[in-house]
């Protein structure tokens, strides 16, 4: 096969239709089920956006109330899941903890073998409701703190922050966190969603697809970049060192985490909205030095490479200011993206075709076992 037929990394290849979201690099925009995402951030809660991704329409007030009641009723960390988490060593990365907990929940789910859209929606809602408890508890146990039970009187994001820190969040923090959850929820055929669709295409189950997607999200070229951005800031230290640090890193052929994107070549459509949320946190926590460092690295990257930040660049420092440990940033992404993954799993099943591309062989030409010569 000739080289020009190879589409390394499937770059530029359109694999299938989706009605879940539209990433438009030309207009630098992102739509969920037709709605511009900045409008959703300004006017809707993350719960309403989850409903939209799954059902295709925003809920009316009765639907929203029912949905929210179902989510609130499933928030608690089951004792058996807690035991599984407690059995994992402190050396386990939080993404491995989340992956293991989700796998355990899937294997214990009585609906595991039912692949109907109704059962899959119910399983998706269970994961959506339970992930905040898993992520919060894992951080707390690492800090030597007690589990904080959920509160049914709080919305999704306020309750997530409550379980994480044991305090009702300031409205500025809650709004910024909710914005990040909406912005992270869905992004068409990114690597983790595509992983979920590949697994689903074999007629495997929803839990297996989500577990695989978590594995794909962990890598620093994908979701793991939000954690890596904070490590970069720690390594640089102060704004004054950013340009020098960048020159050395680029000379060493390092990839700068939180910059660049496979689809957007002129900036990630979600960054302005997340940067606005980060600015509110910078003001609240009087974190001007962090903002100076953020701006200095962005400016240096623009002048050296003309490469712009992606969503992980403002999200990393936002989660840091809110008080999360750096290693918990990608699990926060999981809690959000589980909505998009599961919407795609249901869409894939509704019009399934086994995903199995071709490869061009470039190994040795056919040869035969030298039976007599082998010693």
Ligand X SMILES: O=C([O-])CC(=O)C(=O)O
Ligand Y SMILES: CC(=O)SCCNC(=O)CCNC(=O)[C@H](O)C(C)(C)COP(=O)(O)OP(=O)(O)OC[C@H]1O[C@@H](n2cnc3c(N)ncnc32)[C@H](O)[C@@H]1OP(=O)(O)O
Q: Give residues in contact with ligand X (CB under 6 A).
A: 187, 190, 261-263, 310-311
Q: Which does 79 bind (CB under 5 to 8 A by kind): ligand Y, ligand X, none?
A: none
Nearest of 259, 249, 188 to residue 229 by alpha carbon = 259
In the complex, least distance from residue 34 CB atom to ligand X, rounded to whole angstroms: 18
When CB distances to ligand X are compared, the closest residue is 190
Q: Find all residues with CB under 8 Å of 198, minimum gap 6, and list them.
A: 212, 355
Decide which of ligand X, ligand Y, none touches 7; Cβ closer than 5 to 8 Å per partner kind: none
Has 312 been annotated as catalytic? yes
Considering the complex, what minimum distance in angstroms separates the CB of residue 177 from ligand X? 17
Our finding on whether 339 is near ligand Y (CB under 6 A) is: no
218 binds ligand Y (CB under 6 A): no
CB closer to ligand X, 223 vs 317: 223
Residue 307 site contact among ligand X, ligand Y, none (CB < 5 to 8 Å, cut-off depends on kind): ligand Y
Is residue 225 part of the contact set for ligand Y (CB under 6 A)? yes
Nearer to ligand Y, 273 or 310 (CB): 310
Q: Is 311 in the site for ligand Y (CB under 6 A)?
A: yes
Query: Which token pair is 301?
Result: 């990257």
| Residues whose CB is less than 8 angstroms from the CB of residue 102 and which lie 6 or more positions away in sequence, other chains included | 127, 131, 134, 207, 210, 211, 214
Residue 30 sits in the site that holds ligand Y (CB under 6 A): no
Per CB under 6 A, which of residues 9..28 are in contact with ligand Y?
Answer: 9
The catalytically annotated residue of 109, 138, 178, 222 is: 222
- Of the pair 65, 221, the CB lying nearest ligand X is at 221
Q: Return the closest-CA partner of residue 42 out of 182, 187, 185.
A: 182
Nearer to ligand Y, 66 or 255 (CB): 255
Half-sphere exposure of residue 38: CA atoms within 13 angstroms, side-chain side: 12
331 makes contact with ligand Y (CB under 6 A): no
CB of 8 to ligand Y, least distance (A): 9
Catalytic site includes residue 153: no
Kindly write out the interface string for residues 252-291 of this chain, putting x where it contacts ligand Y by CB under 6 A and - elsewhere.
Answer: ---xxxxxxxx-----------------------------
The question of whether 261 is a catalytic residue gets the answer yes
3-state secondary structure the chain: CCHHHCCHHHCCCCCCCCCCEEEECCCCEEEECCEEHHHHHHHCCHHHHHHHHHHCCCCCHHHHHHHHHHHHHCCCCCHHHHHHHHHCCCCCCHHHHHHHHHHHHHHHCCCCCCCCHHHHHHHHHHHHHHHHHHHHHHHHHHCCCCCCCCCCCCCHHHHHHHHHHCCCCCHHHHHHHHHHHHHHCCCCCCHHHHHHHHHHHCCCCHHHHHHHHHHHHHCCCCCCHHHHHHHHHHHHCCHHHHHHHHHHHHHCCCCCCCECCCCCCCCCCCHHHHHHHHHHHHHHHCCHHHHHHHHHHHHHHHHHHCCCECCHHHHHHHHHHHCCCHHHHHHHHHHHHHHHHHHHHHHHHHCCCCCCCCCCCCCCCCCCCCCCCCC
Q: Is 222 in the site for ligand Y (CB under 6 A)?
A: yes
CB of 48 to ligand Y, least distance (A): 22
Smallest gap, in angstroms, from Cβ of residue 305 to ligand Y? 6
- Contact flag: residue 129 with ligand Y (CB under 6 A): no
Nearer to ligand Y, 267 or 323 (CB): 267
Residue 255 binds which one of ligand Y, ligand X, none, with CB within 5 to 8 A depending on kind?
ligand Y
Interacting partner of 225 out of ligand Y, ligand X, none (Cβ under 5 to 8 A depending on kind) = ligand Y
Q: Is 231 in the site for ligand Y (CB under 6 A)?
A: no
Residues annotated as part of the active site: 222, 261, 312
The binding site for ligand Y (CB under 6 A) comprises 9, 220-223, 225, 255-262, 305, 307, 310-312
């Amino acid at each position: 096969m000739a080289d020009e037929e190879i589409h390394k990394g499937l770059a530029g290849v359109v694999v299938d239709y989706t009605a879940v979201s539209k990433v438009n690099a030309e207009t630098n925009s992102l739509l969920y089920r037709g709605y511009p995402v900045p409008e959703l951030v300004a006017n809707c809660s993350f719960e309403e956006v989850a409903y939209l991704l799954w059902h295709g329409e925003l809920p009316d007030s009765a639907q929203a109330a029912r949905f929210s009641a179902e989510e609130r009723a499933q928030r608690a960390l089951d004792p058996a899941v807690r035991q599984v988490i407690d059995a994992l060593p402190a050396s386990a990365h939080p993404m491995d903890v989340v992956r293991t907990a989700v796998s355990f929940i899937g294997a214990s789910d009585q609906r595991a073998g039912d692949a109907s859209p109704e059962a899959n929606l119910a399983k998706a809602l269970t994961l959506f409701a339970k992930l905040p408890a898993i992520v919060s508890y894992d951080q707390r146990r690492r800090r030597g703190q007690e589990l904080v039970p959920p509160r049914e009187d709080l919305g999704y994001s306020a309750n997530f922050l409550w379980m994480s820190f044991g305090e009702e969040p300031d409205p500025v923090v809650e709004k910024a966190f909710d914005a990040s959850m909406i912005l992270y929820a869905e992004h068409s055929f990114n690597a983790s969603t595509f992983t979920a669709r590949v697994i689903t295409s074999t007629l495997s189950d929803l839990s297996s697809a989500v577990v695989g997607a978590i594995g794909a999200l962990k890598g620093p070229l994908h979701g793991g970049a939000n954690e890596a951005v904070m490590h970069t800031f720690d390594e640089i230290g102060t704004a004054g060192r950013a340009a020098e640090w960048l020159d050395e890193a680029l000379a060493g052929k390092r990839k700068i985490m939180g910059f660049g994107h496979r689809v957007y070549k002129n900036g990630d459509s979600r960054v302005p909205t997340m940067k606005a949320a980060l600015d509110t946190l910078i003001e609240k926590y009087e974190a001007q030095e962090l903002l100076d460092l953020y701006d200095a690295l962005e400016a240096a990257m623009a002048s050296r490479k003309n490469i712009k930040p992606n969503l992980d660049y403002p999200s990393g420092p936002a989660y840091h200011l809110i008080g999360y440990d750096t290693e918990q940033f990608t699990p926060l992404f999981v809690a959000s993206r589980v909505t998009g993954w599961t919407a795609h799993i249901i869409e894939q099943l509704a019009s399934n075709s086994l995903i199995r591309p071709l490869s061009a062989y470039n190994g040795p030409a056919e040869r035969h076992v030298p039976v007599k010569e082998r010693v």
